[in-house]
Amino acid sequence: MKRNIWFGILLVFTCGIGVSFLGAAPLGVLNIAALQISISRGQTAGMLYSAGAISIEMIFIWFSLIGVEWIQKNARLFLLIEWITIAVVTSLAINSFLSALHPTAKNLDNLFLNPDMPAYLIGVSFRALMPTMVPFWLGWNTLLFSKDILQPNLKFYYAYITGAGLGTFIAHLLYILGGEFAAQTFQTHQSAFNWSIGGLFLFIALFQTGKMLWPKPTPLPNQNTGSIPHHSGHSQW
């Protein structure tokens, strides 16, 4: 019996890694931030930024496991937060374009609030302002519960959340390590880099605005599981 329990814990830990990596690896605001911070402040700062973002993400994942009813009753709150997120991303795009028009040695730092702000706190702030992973995790949680992979047990929850944190860190690490290569070309292509980053931020903001204004039809809740409607395939931004 114990062997089955520990096998289940290992399985849900592995699923946490895989699901989180799939959600965090696509290019998004948090990954761009990891890349830029690693360029401007070094890889250690990039990892501290990632740690800050992951600490908040793990709280949200825990909340998605135990607070489903509260989320159902406060859907408008998350809608408001998503619009605030779009405003934040749009401002980052504008800052990038201004940096491209008026390049200086410290433009990159100016994209991220106060350049003296610790990288860890930047990660905390960005992830707290973008709780867009909640629908993502609600979808995956329901799927894993329905397959009896995820169990309503604290040991399973801890393993799942720890695996999720590791998966996100691995995804961020790809961008953090990529920053060393980007830094080599940044000095001679600073304006082009800022235009590119600004374009990515703007694309993300427009894409998310489109999803908000023209949402896809949502299926009815599953009568067998009592789950709320959501999309499990969205990335975490």
Q: What is the pLDDT of residues 94-131, one digit of tens each?
A: 776 776 676 554 444 444 445 678 899 989 988 887 76
pLDDT averaged over the chain? Answer: 75
Q: What is the pLDDT of residues 35-55, one digit of tens each?
A: 888 887 888 999 999 999 999
CA-CA distance, 179 to 185, in Å (whole number)?
A: 10
Which residue type does 10 have?
A: L
Mean pLDDT on 65-80? 65
pLDDT higher than 60, residue 69: no
Residue 226 in tokens = 């009592």
Residues 169 and 54: beta-carbon distance below 8 Å: yes
What confidence score (pLDDT) does residue 107 get? 46
Mean pLDDT on 200-227? 62
Of the two residues 220 and 18, the one the predictor is more confident about is 18
Residue 176 in tokens = 């953090």
Which residue type does 103 have?
A: P
pTM above 0.95, yes or no: no
pLDDT higher than 60, residue 232: no
pLDDT higher than 90, residue 163: yes
Residues 119 and 198: beta-carbon distance below 8 Å: no
Domain ranges of the chain: 2-213
The residue with tokens 């799939």 is 22
Give 75's pLDDT tier (boundaries 50, 70, 90). low
Give 225's pLDDT tier (boundaries 50, 70, 90). very low
Helix 29-41 to helix 154-186 angle (10° resolution) is 50
Count of all residues that appear for the chain in the document: 237
